[in-house]
Amino acid sequence: MSYVTLEAKSRRNPPTWAVRQRELMALMDRAALPFVEHSTREDGTLVFRSEWTSMDGTDNGYESFLSFPLFYLLGGGEHINQLGRKEWDAITWQYENFGTVEREFVTGFDWFHHSESYTYIYYLAMSDPHHHIDRTRALRYAAMYTGEDPLAPNWDAERKMIRSPLNGSKGPRFVTTQKDWDYHRPILAHYLAPYEDIEGADSSDPHFKVDWTDAEMFGKVLEQINARMTRGDVPLNLSATSMVTNAYLYTGEEKYKQWVLDYLQAWVERRDRNGGIMPDNIGPSGEIGELMDGKWWGGYYGWRWPHGARNIVEPAFVAGSCAALMTGDFSHLDLCRSQLDLLWEQRREEDGVFVVPARHGDQGWFDYRAPDPYYYIHLYYLTQSDEDRARLDEVFPTLEGFSGLPEDWGAGKAGICPPKAWFAYTQGENPDFLEQAIETTYSSMCRSLDRLENDDSDPEERECYHFQNLNPVVPEALVQMAMGTPAAVYNGGLLQAHVRYFDPQQQRPGLPEHVAALVDRVSADGASLTLVNTDPVEGRTVLIQAGSFGEHEFTDARLENEAGQDQQVEVNSKWFQVHLGPASQARLHLGLKRFVHQPTYEFPAFV
């Protein structure tokens, strides 16, 4: 297949950001090796405890390495791809031996944790859509939630609901035991109490806590968890939509899309029956508050416990974004929008600042905090609509406070880089973002390597999240720079972007060696970016795709020329090429029609 090609020829000194971006990528290629050597055995299993019985923790094993395939998608070395795939297999085998994984999927836990770990396989799919084992797994995993797997009866087709907040390869988990919770009891003792009517606890303060480490108190908590929380559906389960969308991106089969749309619609109807508020607990017969004395609040990972509103808004966004990807219809994000608007309507002013509630309990809305721009940014980035921009501008009338990045954002959680600084840059209000992204990526890597070198802990005493902040492969700020996206929502989101890169010579995803990229403008109908070949000796060709999954189409492309003789071409395709001569640069302005093609993991044809 031949592609429309633009060509940049003149040698020029590369900008600092381009040189530093490529330096950081080269450093990550190298830094991955001591991390792997320290943290894993020859077979790839983690140097970790010999036993693990907690429901929680399996996700942390996967999270320790999920940045590897993400980095490979950007342009990391082939060994990064191989290591990332090896670690997925090794960690799966290791936790199968612990007993928390069966048939290569977690036996029964919640989608807050499922969604953290299974982002890994979405990146693997983007790395190689023809990997037969990955594809087979994707279809098997989806079947556990669509009702097609009799060994995992998680789905109630009649009521359009997932039957328990705790679910997986063994189906719904209706009863939990002390062993399931033992490891995290000391941690949960610092969280808000899950209920307001625990016998022997003073619940006059809505922020009250109970001591999970006390045997008598824990017995009461566990009894109530099993009576109230483990049967029926919760908003958190909406994050399973990305797992089913994963199967759709492999196959294009209508049944997967329809399942996502049906499940999302079921929650829309539940919201509407509850006066516009998403209820956080649906009983076994499909009734709101069925096991909670009629209360729409108080469910597992609901409006009260443990994190509050986040676990309502986030799954609604994940499901809506999956539906929008498959249909091009942004109205599927209305469920998320409605809950953000609901919280904003409850705002009050404290010390001259508007705050919104993070929780709801028997005493009403409480735990007021400053609004978090995270979901507003993701929502506006995805839709690029006037409606969502107005929503963001109302809550954040200025971008004051959006600039700047923490020096060590890479610690833990696979290197989430907050998108505020990136967003302000794309709006022309944070010119220092490039330096911030580069410097803090470097400092995050250094801190991880320091922790790695000083780690003399006993493997039998290591916590489940031990390896995450030792990982120096932290590419997310570079992904923001190069792909012009806030990156994926960590808990279950797919990596959606205006543009994606391939190396046609090596026939692989990612930027070719020595090529740096910077997207500085995105809109509803276009994007502007710069490609730089930092190699003064050899030329490079970059194949650019419209959308992470080929869901968009380029209408035209204009290459700026310093002499004023711009190259302008009609593209009308999902792909076009740019040939960069030695040490050349290409400043591109791209026209886009967004969400006009069926999304797929398929690579372009390499020529």
Q: How far is CA 482 from the centre of its chain?
A: 17
CB contact at 8 A, 533 and 585: yes
Q: Long-range contacts: 273-280, Cβ < 8 Å, 24+?
A: 276/338, 276/342, 277/339, 277/342, 278/235, 278/312, 278/316, 278/335, 278/339, 280/234, 280/235, 280/304, 280/312
Q: Is residue 236 part of a domain?
A: no
pLDDT in tens, 111-167: 999 999 999 999 999 999 999 999 999 999 999 999 999 999 999 999 999 999 999
585, β-bridge pairs: 532
Angle between helices 241-251 and 132-146 (to 10 degrees): 130
573, β-bridge pairs: 554
User: Using CA atoms, how far apart are residues 88 and 596, in angstroms rounded to an integer?
Assistant: 33
Q: Is residue 267 part of a domain?
A: no
Residue 1 — pLDDT band, cuts 50, 70, 90?
Answer: confident
Residue 206 — pLDDT band, cuts 50, 70, 90?
Answer: confident
Residue 205 — pLDDT band, cuts 50, 70, 90?
Answer: confident
CB contact at 8 A, 514 and 540: yes
In sequence order, which residues have a C-beta less than 8 Å from that of residue 603 and are 6 or more positions away?
A: 129, 502, 509
Q: Tokens 């109490």 label which residue?
A: 193
> Rounded mean pLDDT of 27-38?
98
**What is the model's pLDDT at position 412?**
78
CB 143: neighbour CB atoms within 10 A?
18
Phi, psi angle pair for 579, to nearest 5°: -100, 120
**What is the model's pLDDT at position 562?**
67
Phi, psi angle pair for 329, to nearest 5°: -105, 110
pLDDT in tens, 213-270: 999 999 999 999 999 999 999 999 999 999 999 999 999 999 999 999 999 999 999 9
CB contact at 8 A, 127 and 72: yes
366, β-bridge pairs: 359
> Rounded mean pLDDT of 528-542?
98
CB contact at 8 A, 281 and 302: yes
Q: Is residue 79 part of a domain?
A: no
Q: Tokens 């020529």 label which residue?
A: 607
Q: Is residue 194 part of a domain?
A: yes
User: Using CA atoms, how far apart are residues 25 and 572, in angstroms rounded to an integer?
Assistant: 32
User: Using CA atoms, how far apart are residues 416 and 410, in angstroms rounded to an integer?
Assistant: 6
Alpha-carbon radius of gyration of the chain: 24
> What is the tally of structural domains in the chain?
1
User: Using CA atoms, how far apart are residues 250 and 122, in angstroms rounded to an integer?
Assistant: 10
Average pLDDT, the chain: 96
The residue type of 491 is N
Residue 387 — pLDDT band, cuts 50, 70, 90?
Answer: very high
Work out the angle at residue 577's Cα, subtended by the Cα atoms of residues 572 and 579, and round it to the nearest 5 degrees. 150
pLDDT in tens, 471-509: 999 999 999 999 999 999 999 999 999 999 999 999 999
> Rounded mean pLDDT of 458-481?
96
CB contact at 8 A, 13 and 430: no
**What is the model's pLDDT at position 604?**
97
**What is the model's pLDDT at position 413?**
85
Percent of the chain with pLDDT over 90: 95
Q: Starting at the earlier edge strand, list the strands of the sheet with 499-503.
A: 5-8, 575-580, 540-546, 499-503, 508-509
- Residue of 257, 217, 218, 230 whose CA lies nearest to 241: 257
For residue 426, the SS3 value is helix
pLDDT in tens, 60-79: 999 999 999 999 999 999 99
Query: Encoding tokens for residue 326?
Result: 């498959």
46 DSSP 8-state letter: B
Q: Is residue 131 part of a domain?
A: no
Q: How far is CA 262 from the centre of its chain?
A: 22
**Domain range enclosing 206:** 175-229
In sequence order, which residues have a C-beta less than 8 Å from that of residue 287 and are 6 or more positions away?
A: none
Residue 607 has pLDDT above 70, yes or no: no
**What is the model's pLDDT at position 439?**
98
Percent of the chain with pLDDT over 70: 99
Residue 90 has pLDDT above 90, yes or no: yes
**What is the model's pLDDT at position 565?**
79
> Rounded mean pLDDT of 312-328?
98
> Rounded mean pLDDT of 598-604?
98
Q: Is residue 360 part of a domain?
A: no
User: Using CA atoms, how far apart are residues 126 and 114, in angstroms rounded to an integer?
Assistant: 19
pLDDT in tens, 540-582: 999 999 999 999 999 999 999 866 779 999 999 999 999 999 9
Q: Is residue 206 part of a domain?
A: yes
Residue 178 has pLDDT above 70, yes or no: yes
360, β-bridge pairs: 365
Q: Is residue 6 part of a domain?
A: no
Residue 203 — pLDDT band, cuts 50, 70, 90?
Answer: confident
User: Using CA atoms, how far apart are residues 477 and 123, in angstroms rounded to an integer?
Assistant: 16
- Residue of 95, 369, 55 whose CA lies nearest to 229: 55
Query: Encoding tokens for residue 157?
Result: 């087709």
